[in-house]
A and B are shown apart, each in its own frame.
Chain A
Amino acid sequence: MASGADTPRHAHLGDRAFAAGITLLGGAVLLVVGIIVVACARLSAPAFAKLGFFRFLTGSDWNPVEDSFGALPFIYGTLVTSAIAIVVAMPVAIGLALFLTEMSPSRVRRFVSFFVEILAAIPSVVFGLWGLMVLVPILRDVVEPALQHRLGFLPLFQGAPMGIGFLPAGIVLAIMILPTIASVTIEVLRTMPAALREGALALGATRWEAIGAVVLPYARRGIMGAVILGLARALGETMAVTMLIGNQPEIHGSLFAAGYSLPSVIANEFAEASGAVHTGALAGLALVLFGVTLMLSASARLLVRLSARRLVAA
């Protein structure tokens, strides 16, 4: 670093103190993450010692009475609800962002943006209550019977419509991550040079063609980043999911069935966990959640990099 011609050999004391301070702050993040991982690992040691890491990861039995613990139903529940959330929220959020940046008059944009921000500020317990009081009865009495009537041959829509389960948890998660994805996408689209869009329009492209051929490819990377942020929120969301998923550690193919998620079971059982193995298994789930989050965002990044490379090659 010192090779640069304008870098003085002896930087001012203030500069060096500043650099040290910044480094310290940057390192603090790593330190905190490290402490959390070490603490979880130490706490979970009795569970791994008794059950074995692999058996814990792939087991599907969760029985605190018999000290038998498996993480699979919780991993499944977390992935399924997050997948529903992304599938529902991504098109809506991107559509909303395109509408606000490409089409709407600025008065409408300010008005709608305000409500998107309000949506982001609602506490998750309120979302959970709304889901329980409003969404669940609608799903139970109207939506789920209708889905079953039309599409009941699919394994996704089988079983008794209870209103509580993967579907309401996923839908509420979708609403919760919608503002995250939408507002980041809006910022990404705003940074796009106007000349690109105008160039496409000048070449005779319709608005739809301009969006499809120029705007979206340009913003793809940023939009993927927005989706990753939304996904991270969906994976870690605790309260709203706990109130809606049914809290039953089982793996069902149907979206109508009750399930359980990683953060929910930790929040539910940790305070009254009986013994070191039960506490350890819950800490183990925390590690698993950490791993799942890490792996998903790493693979999303990889996806972005690959698609960007293809874009350049094309």
Chain B
Amino acid sequence: MKRLGWFLAALSLTGGLARADSLLINGAGATFPFPLYSKWFSEYNKLHPELKFNYQSIGSGGGVKQITEKTIDFGASDSPMNDEELKKAPGVMHIPTVLGAVAVVYNGAPEGVKLTPEALSDIFLGKITRWNDPKLQAIAGQPKLPDVAITVAHRSDGSGTTAVFTDYLGKVSPAWKSGVGVGKSVKWPVGLGGKGNEGVTGTVKSTPGAIGYVELAYARQNKLSMAALKNADGSFILPSIETTSEAAAGVAMPPDFRVSITDAKGKNAYPISSFTYVLIYKEQPDAAKGKAIGQFLWWAVHDGQKLAGPLDYAPLPKPVVAKVEAALRTVTVAGKSVIASN
């Protein structure tokens, strides 16, 4: 391993020497959009061979920390920075890049399970403990549920996925809001903790009667059964790229994009969705880098969106893209907009 490390270090060094004129942009943060960002970096690099990206997927918290300390050129986070964090990093902007959905997945019950917000929160609060509970069976159009104990599976590591999921439960259930609360790590009333999406996926797959929550991409790739959730308009919606984008379309967007879109209105809106953000400084300190970042993000929210769907990310709806355009025009280097040429 050590030798490999030296080899890679030497390789990257020679790579740096060979292209002395190239520009390296450093970023760090969320793990959730990492597969898409890698794709973006490599595609954008084909268009602009002089640009290189180095992205460390260390987690949203790390992304916020490092952009605050200005050790990177851009950060990435699944949940928006709160007011306290923003106070420590004045001038940081949130640029939404794509949307993600959190799927409720299960094992041991027939396909086509439907859940109301009350049923979902009661399961995760430990009030409903069996699949054939009358409260679950009474939901209209519910398939016949088995007489099996429910095992709740949740994330054990601090995670943006947990933040989105608990944000939703907090909105729809007063008991959840007062008893458990909202956050990247919470005190779970019941269940088994798995590390990462893969840990929860593993628990759900191997435990008959299990129910858990994972990112949509994981649910699809592992062919897990997904529950349809009753949204704010009263329709039962399965998570998909379209229903996730739909959730973002119906939300009143504040100018700084810091908004939760869980429990969104809209006939086809999937209720547990969220934006993921890139964090940059509005006033870019380095002329060349600032320009490159601004133009890369411009590309990402236009041409880059076409790459999102195949990787199970939901593209930004048109009205949001228009607002991101306006925001990117305000990014400046020494008082001049980085997008001036467009």
Interface pick from B98-106, B188-196, B235-243:
B188-196
- CB <8 Å contact, B62 and A271: yes
A242-B195, A271-B58, A272-B157 known; 17 new pairs, CB 8 Å cut-off, are: A64-B186, A66-B181, A132-B206, A162-B151, A164-B203, A242-B156, A243-B194, A243-B202, A248-B191, A249-B187, A267-B157, A267-B195, A268-B156, A269-B157, A271-B59, A271-B157, A278-B185
Interface residues of A in 111-158 (CB under 8 A from B): 132-133, 136-137, 140
A273 interface residue per 8 A CB criterion: yes
Interface residues of B in 88-109 (CB under 8 A from A): none
Total count of chain A residues near the partner, CB < 8 A = 33
Residues in B neighbouring A164, C-beta threshold 8 A: 192, 203, 207
Question: What are 30 of the A-B contact pairs (CB < 8 Å)?
Answer: A61-B187, A62-B187, A64-B183, A64-B184, A64-B185, A65-B181, A65-B182, A66-B181, A132-B202, A162-B192, A164-B203, A242-B195, A243-B199, A243-B202, A247-B156, A247-B192, A248-B191, A248-B192, A258-B193, A264-B156, A268-B157, A268-B158, A268-B185, A271-B62, A272-B59, A272-B61, A272-B157, A272-B184, A274-B158, A274-B183
- Give CA–CA (A160, B190) in the complex, Å: 13
Residues in A neighbouring B151, C-beta threshold 8 A: 162
A164 to chain B, nearest CB (A): 5
A20 to chain B, nearest CB (A): 28
- Give CA–CA (A223, B158) in the complex, Å: 41
A143 to chain B, nearest CB (A): 16
Q: How many inter-chain residue pairs (CB < 8 Å) link A and B?
A: 93
B255 to chain A, nearest CB (A): 26
The 3 nearest A-B residue pairs measured at CB: A247-B193, A272-B158, A247-B156
- CB <8 Å contact, B59 and A63: no
Interface residues of B toward A: which range?
Answer: 20 to 34
Residues in A neighbouring B203, C-beta threshold 8 A: 164
- CB <8 Å contact, A268 and B58: no
B60 interface residue per 8 A CB criterion: yes
A163 interface residue per 8 A CB criterion: yes
A246 interface residue per 8 A CB criterion: yes
Most buried by A among B151, B157, B159, B186: B157
Residues 241-253 of chain A: 1 if any B CB is under 8 Å from the residue's CB, otherwise 0? 0110011110000
- Give CA–CA (A63, B191) in the complex, Å: 15
- CB <8 Å contact, A272 and B181: no
Residues 146-165 of chain B: 1 if any A CB is under 8 Å from the residue's CB, otherwise 0? 00010100001111100000
Residue of A nearest to B151 (CB): A162
- Give CA–CA (A132, B195) in the complex, Å: 12
- Give CA–CA (A270, B203) in the complex, Å: 22
Residue of A nearest to B182 (CB): A65
B159 to chain A, nearest CB (A): 6
- Give CA–CA (A164, B156) in the complex, Å: 14
Residue of B nearest to A132 (CB): B202
- CB <8 Å contact, A271 and B186: no
B296 to chain A, nearest CB (A): 26
Residues 193-237 of chain B: 1 if any A CB is under 8 Å from the residue's CB, otherwise 0? 111000100110011000000000000000000000000000000
Residues in A neighbouring B206, C-beta threshold 8 A: 132-133, 136-137, 163
B333 interface residue per 8 A CB criterion: no
B180 interface residue per 8 A CB criterion: yes
- Give CA–CA (A114, B81) in the complex, Å: 54
Residue of B nearest to A140 (CB): B207
- Give CA–CA (A268, B183) in the complex, Å: 14
Residues in B neighbouring A271, C-beta threshold 8 A: 58-59, 61-62, 157-158
- Give CA–CA (A278, B195) in the complex, Å: 18
Are A274 and B195 also in contact (CB < 8 A) when A268-B157, A269-B157 are?
A: no
- Give CA–CA (A108, B131) in the complex, Å: 54
- CB <8 Å contact, B187 and A64: yes
* Cβ contact of B60, chosen from A132, A243, A272, A278, cutoff 8 A: A272
Are A162 and B207 also in contact (CB < 8 A) when A65-B180, A247-B156, A272-B61 are?
A: yes
* Cβ contact of B158, chosen from A63, A136, A243, A269, cutoff 8 A: A269
- CB <8 Å contact, B207 and A274: no
Residues in A neighbouring B60, C-beta threshold 8 A: 272
Residues 286-304 of chain B: 1 if any A CB is under 8 Å from the residue's CB, otherwise 0? 0000000000000000000
- Give CA–CA (A104, B49) in the complex, Å: 66
Residues 60-80 of chain A: 1 if any B CB is under 8 Å from the residue's CB, otherwise 0? 011111100000000000000
Most buried by A among B61, B182, B193, B195: B193
B226 to chain A, nearest CB (A): 22
A199 to chain B, nearest CB (A): 49
Residues 46-75 of chain B: 1 if any A CB is under 8 Å from the residue's CB, otherwise 0? 000000000000111110000000000000
Residues in B neighbouring A278, C-beta threshold 8 A: 185
- CB <8 Å contact, B186 and A63: yes
- Give CA–CA (A172, B113) in the complex, Å: 36
- Give CA–CA (A191, B25) in the complex, Å: 60
- CB <8 Å contact, A247 and B194: yes
Residues in B neighbouring A260, C-beta threshold 8 A: 193
A136 to chain B, nearest CB (A): 6
- CB <8 Å contact, B192 and A246: yes
A158 to chain B, nearest CB (A): 15
Residue of B nearest to A162 (CB): B151
- CB <8 Å contact, B194 and A269: no
Most buried by A among B58, B151, B180, B187: B187
Residues in A neighbouring B61, C-beta threshold 8 A: 271-274
B196 to chain A, nearest CB (A): 9
- Give CA–CA (A166, B114) in the complex, Å: 34
- CB <8 Å contact, B187 and A63: yes
- CB <8 Å contact, A273 and B202: no
* Cβ contact of B159, chosen from A136, A243, A272, cutoff 8 A: A272
- Give CA–CA (A95, B109) in the complex, Å: 47
- CB <8 Å contact, A268 and B195: yes
A267 to chain B, nearest CB (A): 8
